[in-house]
């Protein structure tokens, strides 16, 4: 039997080679259903930061605002303006924070590269937004444990990412071609995360994923 790597989410090595192409080798876990890139193909921190700097994250761009609007609308529906929020992985253009601030909300920014405020990770929040971030997690087990710990009771974690399924043509799936995208989730994976990290529920609406503490 081949010596497969340990899954970065469930930490087991019950997986199989799922895709081997120009973007690297990807494995699919039989336990949590995560698809993950072999760590030898992960980008360096320098390469990762350079890639993020190429993103055209203009917070006044209407197309960008429309893209993140499902999270903005969900937060505005679920929480009053005095709720405390965290924009986790805010990047160079924290458009969700801008849009929610315009509605009267207060959010703290955190990003490993662009807003490395470790003090923000010592507080508790009513809600956390994590838009186009979870596919970049090199250590998703640690990241989801952290995110759960930062939520107050009945708090919500709002994520957006492209999910894969049995109908996904992975070989031609453009989402995997970004070298900084290293892990991919299915609905099965999200339910595994919900149960393992003790979220009370997870709701999936297209690209919008909402975990409740």
179 is a domain residue: no
Rounded mean pLDDT, 118-131: 96
Token pair 């876990």 in the structure block, residue: 29
Per-position DSSP letters for 14-39, written without gaps between them: -EEEEEEETTEEEEEETTT--EEE-G
pLDDT in tens, 41-83: 898 888 888 878 776 567 777 777 888 999 999 999 999 999 9
67 is a domain residue: yes
Nearest to 24 by CA among 139, 169, 133, 178: 178
15 is a domain residue: no
pTM of the model: 0.94
* Domain at 109, CATH number: 3.40.50.150
73 is a domain residue: yes
14 is a domain residue: no
- Beta-carbon contacts of residue 57 (< 8 Å; ≥ 6 apart): 64, 91, 92, 93, 95
pLDDT at 95 over 60: yes
Domain that holds residue 148: 44-160+188-212
Tell me the backbone φ, ψ of residue 18, rounded to 5 degrees. -105, -35
Q: How many domains does the chain have?
A: 1
Query: Contact 6/13 with Cβ under 8 angstroms?
Result: yes
199 is a domain residue: yes
Q: Which residues pair with 25 in a beta bridge?
A: 20
pLDDT in tens, 2-49: 567 999 999 999 999 999 998 999 999 999 999 999 999 898 888 888
- Beta-carbon contacts of residue 56 (< 8 Å; ≥ 6 apart): none
104 is a domain residue: yes
Greater model confidence, 46 or 126: 126
pLDDT of residue 2: 54
165 is a domain residue: no
Q: Distance (Å, rounded) from C-alpha 203 to C-alpha 115?
A: 29
pLDDT of residue 1: 41
pLDDT at 168 over 80: yes
């Amino acid at each position: 039997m081949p010596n497969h790597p340990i899954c970065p989410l469930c930490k087991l090595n019950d997986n199989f080679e799922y895709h081997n192409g120009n973007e690297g080798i990807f494995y699919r876990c039989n336990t949590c259903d995560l698809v993950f890139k072999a760590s030898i193909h992960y980008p360096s921190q320098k390469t990762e930061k350079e890639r993020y700097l190429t993103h055209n994250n203009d917070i006044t761009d209407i197309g960008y605002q429309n893209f993140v609007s499902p999270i903005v609308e969900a937060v505005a529906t679920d929480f009053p303006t005095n709720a405390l929020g965290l924009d986790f992985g805010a990047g160079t253009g924290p458009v969700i924070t801008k849009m929610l601030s315009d509605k009267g909300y207060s959010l703290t920014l955190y990003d490993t590269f662009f807003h490395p405020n470790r003090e923000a990770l010592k507080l508790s929040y009513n809600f956390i937004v994590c838009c186009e971030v979870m596919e970049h997690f090199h250590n998703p087990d640690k990241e989801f444990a952290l995110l759960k710990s930062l939520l107050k009771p009945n708090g919500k974690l709002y994520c957006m990412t492209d999910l894969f399924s049995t109908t996904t043509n992975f070989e031609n799936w453009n989402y995997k071609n970004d070298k900084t995208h290293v892990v991919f989730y299915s609905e099965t994976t999200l339910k595994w995360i919900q149960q393992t990290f003790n979220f009370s529920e997870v709701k999936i609406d297209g690209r919008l994923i909402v975990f409740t503490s």
